Structure 1
Amino acid sequence: MTTTSPLAAHGGTKALDLPQPHYQWPAVTPELDDAVRAQLHRSLSDRDASGVIGEFEAAFARFVGAPHAVSFASGTSAIHAMSRIAGLRPGDAVLAPAYTFFATATPFAYDGIEVRFADADRYGNVTAATLAEKLTPAVRAVIVTHVWGNPCPMDEIVDFCRTNDLVLLEDCSHAHFASWKGRRVGTFGDMAVFSTNQKAITTGEGGVLITGNDRYRELALLFGHYNKRCQKEIDPSSEYYPYAFTGMGLKHRITTLGAAIGVHQLDNAVDIERRRRAVLARFAAGLADNPVIAPAVVPEADGQHGLYVLGLRFNPENASVSRDEFVALCQAEGAAEVDAPGSTRDISPEPLFARRDPFAPWVPSTPPTTELPGVARFADTFIKIPLWGYEGDEPLVAGYLDALAKVSAVVAR
């Protein structure tokens, strides 16, 4: 690669000079504005599923292809519900990805459950082999994250969980449109959670737990919805029906305005997917011959990408700068959303995961060090950019491709 244009960081002209922010989601169209205003006048609080919350849950279940969906105030609270529904308690352990957003694992640690962290493959995901390395007799469950939209190899993970009699939980927060071998993620496990916080399908803040198990659905209602809804929807013959009035003691309902945004998003899911897949294909084609960076996307023969963001793999052996220097040069070109993520990373050293007593004093301690070479390789070379998907995104897509190409041309060995 060669170029005659100096980098903006070295006094040249920026490849992209468009006003920020470069990415906002959802796109606030007149139709979305109307939907939120209509809900504002309809109801600000639903105590059961007769209104927009029930409409959102039904639409989300159809979207994923699952029998049941229960909404929550956040993906984190929905993962906490999965932990409680699965019956995990102090003394038990759960296998989790070391490379993930921390909320995949923190709800378990909050309750004093041991989190055993598994290594990653070249896409940042756990595999049956990396999970097996961390298996002990205390392990009762597995949670996987389809990180950055790339589906995990679910056929082998399902077999691993069945062989070892483990509850399988999926964190699909990055993977709303993802599938593995033709099957939607979120439908492999006993339960799955989708965050709807600024994701490809958003409610602003929120989360959804999906399951095909009737008992799990009712327990999910007890965990966050209680009172009128639980008394109406839980089988009175169940042993836990006496808890319908109080639930498990917590309230985690999504807001009605958030649910209204979610309904609007799901009504437009086909168009959102079409647009984002087109942008994904545009970047794949534009970066096809780039020796410095390439899309970090699972092969289409294995699965479909979840369309949250586009991950890029930086090839340090082909560059005269480091990954972080490459990111800074792209940002100087005006591509402000080129990013080496900080919140999604190796979370295994965090002091929360050394706690076993949820009521112990909050005195930090350090978990035992564990070797995670796959996580290090992935994290040290990963870059992300937005996957746009709305009217008017073409100048941004073209501009980011120009910025990536310009910087790559200069730093390529």
Structure 2
Amino acid sequence: MEIKYNKCLFLLRAVFALTVLSNVSSCSNEGSKESSQATGEVTLIPKDSIKIDVLSPIKIYDYDPENNLFLLGDVADGFSEMLPDGAMPKGNEVGFIIIDGSGEVLGQFNNTGDGPVNHGVGAKNNLFLDDNRIGVFTKIGFFVYDFDGNLLGRSKALNTQRTHLDIPFDISAFQNGNLALGYTTMSMKAFQNQDNPFPYMKSFRIFDLNGLLGSDDGINDHTIQNYGFPEGIADETIGGTSPRMAFNKRIGVLSVLFSKFQKLHQYSIADGSLLNVIDLKPAYFSSGNESVVDSGSPGYLDWRQGGGSLINSTYHDMVQLGDYTLIRYSSVISNTQAGQLVESGGISESEYWETVRKSTYKFYYLLIKDGSVVKQDFELVALSPQPGGEYFRSATDLRGQLIGGSDLNSLYVLYNNDYAQERDYKLIVRYELKLD
């Protein structure tokens, strides 16, 4: 398949130059919470874009800010491992593509499927290891390829078979031979002690990757640090055990965030030591709210899928912008609103969903630097799906995928279809995130 990439100028239209104010309204636990004081304005300014002439929906797996490289493609995610025999996963038409900031293709290959150098039908996580290698984490091992798809190394012991398969997150970082990887495992003791499984579960590890690739040893022999869950983590996080990671390569600091836990932990990737714990204090984040529908009742699953899960907040994105870390989370709706939403067809069908999105359920952002939250609870409405647009019927997705960047002048966002009227190409748009 021939794929062309072109750099194109992004028109600076006023409609997209969005000034967003930190919210200062208050609300209750049935849908809101008293907010912190506003911390100023944030202006989202589009600058330019990279046009990608490819039909298949793609994802950005990783961004290298030092070399301005994007790892993208359509490789099936980790849930493809759970498909029944004979079922075809979505994607795998393009494989992996590596491009630079000007849109030049530096490499492309498709190693899905069977074969001595192939990694299987899908992967749970993919990342840059340095400026000429990528890593692919799958159920049959951790694979290292160059940009042309040549196999450079493999660890069979480091695989996803023992991991707790969760909603896919950015769960990895690499520097100077050390690989940090969300490797959440649940032991037999956890199954036998469901009331409090966390002491028997591990959240992530830091490995000596070079040692793993050069031997047949088990993963424990090359583990630098092995972390359990942070002290005080809430019981309801059992549904969000895989941590999201963002990595500041300049100073070697790894930020680790769990989807429902309101503190950000920062570690040194060099030795795994805990450097900092940041209390995020998001004003509109609320968790631990009990559902009016019992979790053991027959209708509980329909309730959750129809909108009942939105009575608790969650974190959706965490990306690095140089020395800044940008986090997106969602507010909550009340049990009453959830009931109305479910009864009227749920998120996918209900006309009430538009009312809920406008009035209550919103995405908020936090900006962290030097161990502190520097901008609190602001909205970026231009990135949120609008009525009638793609992803509007999703409670988690933006109009595009947040990628991150090298600084506040380079917040990259991938738009597959929703951004442009024509749908035979994709755009990676570069924004400036201006702080006032």
Question: What's the TM-score bracket when you normalise by the shorter of the two chains?
Answer: under 0.3
Q: Which has the higher helix share?
A: 1
> Quick check: which one's strand share is greater?
2
TM-score (norm 1): 0.27
